[in-house]
């Protein structure tokens, strides 16, 4: 059984656009956080693809990965993930082959099959009659093939050839878990928004796993939502804006990440509170000892090999401090 001090810790960043800020500030904060978490000793730094959301600035994921990799020296940088049905596999192969050529040995290609947005925006991304998640296994196979030259194929991804980064499958259900196992790929599960499926999906992955040239044994990373502060009360205060953001998204009116003061002043209904309790029941919010207890429990329940932390708070200093407090738990 692993404990927090025995597994790598990594970062998932959505480049939050905060109330009173703008996209430029969000992107500068991302680069700053990447440098700080590299300094702290985090293992990898992934950016998530989302679209048409006023509180998230990481939509041009490959562009942002390039900036973060250029601004850092050692930390692995990648996608958490690229939503493959939104893109032609050739384009992703070219983009990530280019990134790997610029930063050899430091790029990860995490692939998901959800749209990362609403259906109208997905249609705008994919075009009428375009790509579909139903063809995800075929799209994935096409993507992988582009990293090797083929004389039999009329089209080749020149920048991808010989520049293949490690490939991960991401998921929040059993589909990607089973596919990742069958292909012998590492698997990253979104525990932070599908906690009830975590243990079943991890078991599906391990049961389906077949050794490959990439992995001899299964490798599981869990994405988790964490807010750490000096006290439980302070951490709950800092985490509240994330809850209000989800409430707004649920109502079809997404907003930038509000301030803690605005979240504290909001008049929550009983239904709101019940929704937030269910939605954030799997988040780890509190003092360092509270967070340690929660994450050690998650590791004990799942046997995960790595933990990837996402922290959505309004103030950049509070976000950096949260990652500092969590990393101190490993020493």
pLDDT in tens, the chain (331 residues): 578 989 999 999 999 999 999 999 999 999 999 999 999 999 999 999 999 999 999 999 999 999 999 999 999 999 998 999 889 999 999 999 999 999 999 999 999 987 656 677 767 776 665 555 678 999 999 999 999 999 999 999 999 999 999 999 999 989 999 999 999 999 999 999 889 999 999 999 999 999 999 999 999 999 999 999 999 999 999 999 999 999 998 888 999 999 999 999 999 999 999 989 888 888 999 999 999 999 999 999 999 999 999 999 999 999 999 999 999 999 8
3-state helix, strand, coil split of the chain in percent (to 5) is 50, 15, 35
The Cα–Cα gap between 163 and 96 comes to 8
Separation of alpha carbons 111 and 131, rounded Å: 15
Single out the residue of 19, 36, 46 nearest to residue 222, CA to CA.
Answer: 46
State the pLDDT at residue 96: 98
Q: How far is CA 26 from CA 23, 225, 262, in A?
A: 5, 19, 19
Q: CA 297 to CA 291: how far, in whole Å?
A: 10
Residues 233, 273: Cα–Cα separation, whole Å: 17
Q: 3-class DSSP state for residue 218?
A: coil
Per-residue model confidence (pLDDT) at position 115: 66
Domain ranges of the chain: 4-233+283-328
pLDDT of residue 3: 83
Give pLDDT, residue 299: 97
Residue 118 and residue 147 in contact, taking contact as beta carbons nearer than 8 Å: no
> What is the distance between the alpha carbons of residues 304 and 203, in angstroms, rounded to a whole number?
11
pLDDT at 116: 57
Give the CA distances from residue 82 to residues 88, 170, 242, in Å, rounded to whole numbers and listed in that order.
11, 9, 23
pLDDT at position 120 is 74
What CA–CA distance (Å, rounded) separates 16 from 256?
8
Q: Residue 321's pLDDT is what?
A: 98
CA distance 158 to 142: 15
CATH 3.20.20.30, applies to 4-233+283-328: yes
Contacts 24+ apart (CB under 8 A), 259-265: 259/18, 259/19, 259/20, 259/314, 260/313, 260/314, 262/19, 264/237, 264/240
pLDDT at residue 281 in the model: 84
């Amino acid at each position: 059984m692993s404990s927090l001090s025995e597994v790598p810790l990594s970062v998932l960043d959505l480049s939050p656009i905060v109330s009173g800020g703008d996209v430029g500030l969000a992107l500068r904060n991302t680069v700053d956080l990447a440098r700080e978490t590299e300094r702290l000793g985090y293992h990898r730094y992934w950016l998530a693809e989302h679209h048409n959301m006023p509180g998230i600035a990481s939509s041009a994921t490959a562009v942002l990965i390039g900036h973060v990799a250029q601004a850092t020296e050692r930390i692995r940088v990648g996608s958490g993930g690229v939503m493959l049905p939104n893109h032609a596999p050739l384009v992703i192969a070219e983009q990530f082959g280019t990134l790997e050529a610029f930063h050899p040995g430091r790029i990860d290609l995490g692939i998901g099959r959800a749209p990362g947005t609403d259906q109208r925006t997905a249609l705008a991304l994919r075009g009428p009659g375009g790509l579909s998640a139903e063809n995800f296994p075929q799209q994935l196979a096409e993507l992988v093939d582009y990293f090797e030259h083929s004389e039999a194929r009329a089209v080749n991804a020149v920048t991808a050839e010989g520049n293949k980064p490690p490939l991960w499958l991401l998921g929040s259900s059993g589909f990607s878990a089973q596919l990742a196992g069958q292909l012998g790929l590492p698997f990253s599960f979104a525990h932070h928004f599908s906690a009830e499926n975590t243990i079943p999906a991890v078991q599906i992955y391990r049961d389906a796993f077949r050794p490959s040239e990439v992995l001899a044994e299964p490798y599981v990373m869990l994405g988790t939502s964490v807010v750490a502060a000096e006290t439980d009360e302070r951490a709950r205060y800092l985490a509240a804006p994330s809850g209000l953001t989800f409430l707004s998204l649920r109502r079809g009116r997404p907003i930038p990440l509000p301030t803690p003061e605005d979240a504290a002043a909001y008049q929550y209904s009983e239904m709101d509170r019940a929704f937030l309790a269910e939605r954030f029941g799997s988040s780890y919010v509190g003092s360092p000892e509270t967070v340690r207890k929660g994450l050690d429990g998650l590791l004990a329940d799942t046997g995960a090999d790595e933990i990837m932390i996402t922290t959505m708070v309004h103030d950049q200093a509070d976000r950096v401090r949260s990652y500092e407090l969590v990393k101190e738990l490993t020493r």
